[in-house]
């Protein structure tokens, strides 16, 4: 069953472009949200509006001032959304580019020597950056091995590895392969209890669409997201950086303002679409409870999103009435297990004996878009230790419905019926 009432779910779906139709392939159910969430219609409109404006920022004219105001507003909206009153936000080319920039600057400005720590749980964005910059700065890179069974990594795992001279630490907030999130506050506390001055850089790309982010609670130095995975659009990444890292030496224009992280002319439209995301979430929070308190609205939206997504993934795994859930399909194996309280809107599984590509192709033909993850440089860190060559990834967002999940289950049941053993 959906957490949202049918009317509210319809209203929510109405806010997004291409909810049930792909402009290339026609009607489809969209379960590829971890590859890129649906885009808000307001974002589409805002993007085209700002794409048409020729003016640059920092000029003495009305258009330029309006653009600067839009950027300022977006930064203040982001502070509310991501729960922080400190640090600063800036845009970059992508989530990957921003994570590289944060890790590179952290590694270059931390005291010489010591080590850098990251986990096998992470996406290559942080892992590649941390390994590269550990080598460049002549430090040892030490791996925190994640837990295969639960599909995540814990504060205890980090505690066993961190040393008093750990300079830079990377953490993945939620995995796009296992779908499981970590307790970021606890991991950061564990790191700081051993190495209080370590610079902590967090990849929030997969986590962002699925629950509230509270940067001030985490005591970290960098957090990056990819707005196209949070109802905005492709073309930019969005990062937060702590005052501490800003005060350390970091890349910037010669003789420019020392606190600046923005390099070059900014796309005002990208900032403006971030404000659209915040406005949408406020609208959703207001549907849950009428209040003038912005933080409350955003918190309520995050809770409602989590509740809807949990009901969808539980339905997917357990099934309903006479529709078999994933757990009852023959030969099925689910990463992170059937019951995992830290699951964030994503289930990856395989059916032993059936190549995952065949399942994804079958679902595609039946109008259901999912994705195959292979043991390559993106997902090998999760799949290789399990001894898996691939898996099917079904990633949902709060605008998906239980009806769509039931269609997925019926299609998977049909797939099994077609297998030679049946």
Ligand X SMILES: Cc1ncc(COP(=O)(O)O)c(C=O)c1O
Work out whether 203 is an interface residue with ligand X (CB under 6 A).
yes
Q: Which stretch binds ligand X (CB under 6 A): 91-99, 162-170, 248-256, 266-274?
A: 91-99
24 Cβ neighbours under 8 A, 6+ residues apart: none
Give φ, ψ of 368 to 5 degrees: -125, 115
Given the complex with ligand X, which of 97 and 320 has the nearer CB atom?
97
Q: How many CB atoms lie within 10 A of CB 173?
A: 23
Given the complex with ligand X, which of 170 and 402 has the nearer CB atom?
170
Given the complex with ligand X, which of 95 and 325 has the nearer CB atom?
95
Interface residue with ligand X among 92, 118, 222, 237 (CB under 6 A) is 237
Considering only residues 30-89, where is the footprint of ligand X by CB under 6 A?
A: none
Q: How many CB atoms lie within 10 A of CB 355?
A: 14
Whole-number Å distance between alpha carbons of 47 and 161: 45
Whole-number Å distance between alpha carbons of 141 and 132: 9
Question: Least distance in Å: CB of 26 to ligand X?
Answer: 26
Question: Is residue 201 classed as helix, strand or coil in its secondary structure?
Answer: strand
Element (H, E) at 237: strand 237-241
Question: Least distance in Å: CB of 117 to ligand X?
Answer: 18
Given the complex with ligand X, which of 298 and 382 has the nearer CB atom?
382
Given the complex with ligand X, which of 94 and 246 has the nearer CB atom?
94
CA–CA distance from 44 to each of 23, 173, 234, 274, 396 (Å)?
15, 28, 11, 12, 21
Question: Is residue 396 classed as helix, strand or coil in its secondary structure?
Answer: coil
Given the complex with ligand X, which of 379 and 401 has the nearer CB atom?
379
Q: How many residues bind ligand X (CB under 6 A)?
A: 12
Question: Least distance in Å: CB of 153 to ligand X?
Answer: 13
Q: Which stretch binds ligand X (CB under 6 A): 62-70, 94-102, 133-141, 331-339?
A: 94-102
Q: What is the largest CA-CA distance in the chain?
A: 74
Interface residue with ligand X among 176, 212, 222, 336 (CB under 6 A) is 176
145 Cβ neighbours under 8 A, 6+ residues apart: 119, 120, 157
Interface residue with ligand X among 87, 92, 95, 325 (CB under 6 A) is 95
Interface residue with ligand X among 46, 166, 226, 300 (CB under 6 A) is 226
Given the complex with ligand X, which of 179 and 319 has the nearer CB atom?
179
Work out whether 356 is an interface residue with ligand X (CB under 6 A).
no
CB–CB of 27/364 below 8 Å? no
Given the complex with ligand X, which of 282 and 309 has the nearer CB atom?
309
90 forms bridges with which residues in the sheet? 239
By beta-carbon distance, which residue lies closest to ligand X? Answer: 95
Place of tokens 């970290």: 220
Work out whether 123 is an interface residue with ligand X (CB under 6 A).
yes
Work out whether 94 is an interface residue with ligand X (CB under 6 A).
yes
Work out whether 154 is an interface residue with ligand X (CB under 6 A).
no
Question: Is residue 271 classed as helix, strand or coil in its secondary structure?
Answer: helix
Whole-number Å distance between alpha carbons of 215 and 36: 23
Element (H, E) at 101: helix 95-109
- The binding site for ligand X (CB under 6 A) comprises 94-96, 123, 125, 172, 176, 203, 205-206, 226, 237
């Amino acid at each position: 069953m959906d957490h949202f009432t049918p009317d509210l779910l319809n209203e929510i779906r109405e806010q997004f472009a291409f909810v049930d139709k792909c402009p290339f392939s026609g009607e489809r159910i969209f379960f590829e949200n971890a590859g890129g969430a649906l885009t808000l219609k307001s974002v589409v409109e805002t993007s085209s509006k700002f794409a048409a404006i020729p003016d640059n920022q920092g000029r003495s004219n009305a258009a330029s001032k309006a653009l600067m105001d839009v950027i300022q507003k977006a930064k203040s909206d982001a502070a509310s959304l991501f729960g922080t009153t400190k640090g600063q936000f800036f845009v970059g080319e992508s989530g990957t580019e921003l994570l590289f920039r944060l890790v590179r600057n952290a590694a270059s400005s931390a005291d010489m020597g010591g080590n850098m720590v990251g986990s096998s749980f992470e996406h290559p964005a942080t892992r590649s950056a941390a390994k590269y910059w550990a080598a460049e700065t002549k430090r040892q890179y030490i791996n925190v091995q994640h837990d295969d069974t639960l599909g995540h990594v814990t504060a205890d795992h980090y505690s066993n590895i961190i040393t008093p001279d750990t300079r830079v630490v990377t953490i993945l907030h939620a995995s796009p392969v296992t779908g499981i999130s970590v307790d970021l506050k606890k991991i950061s506390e564990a790191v700081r209890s051993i190495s209080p001055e370590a610079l902590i850089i967090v990849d929030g790309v997969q986590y962002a669409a699925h629950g509230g982010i509270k940067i001030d609670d985490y005591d970290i130095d960098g957090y990056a997201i990819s707005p196209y995975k949070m109802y905005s659009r492709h073309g930019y990444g969005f990062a937060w950086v702590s005052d501490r890292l800003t005060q350390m030496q970091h890349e910037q224009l010669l003789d420019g303002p020392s606190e600046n992280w923005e390099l070059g002319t900014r796309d005002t439209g990208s900032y403006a679409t971030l404000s659209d995301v915040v406005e949408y979430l406020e609208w959703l929070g207001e549907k849950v409870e009428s209040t003038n308190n912005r933080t409350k609205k955003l918190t309520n939206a995050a809770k409602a999103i989590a509740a809807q997504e949990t009901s969808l993934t539980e339905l997917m795994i357990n099934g309903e009435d006479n529709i078999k859930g994933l757990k009852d399909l023959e030969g099925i194996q689910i990463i992170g297990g059937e019951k995992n309280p830290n699951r964030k809107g994503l289930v990856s599984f395989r059916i032993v004996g059936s190549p995952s590509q065949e399942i994804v192709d079958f679902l595609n033909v039946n109008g259901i878009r999912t994705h195959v993850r292979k043991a390559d440089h993106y997902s090998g860190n999760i799949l290789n230790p399990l001894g898996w060559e691939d898996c099917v990834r079904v990633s949902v967002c709060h605008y998906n419905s239980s009806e769509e999940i039931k269609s997925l289950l019926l299609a998977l049941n049909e797939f099994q019926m077609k297998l030679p053993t049946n």
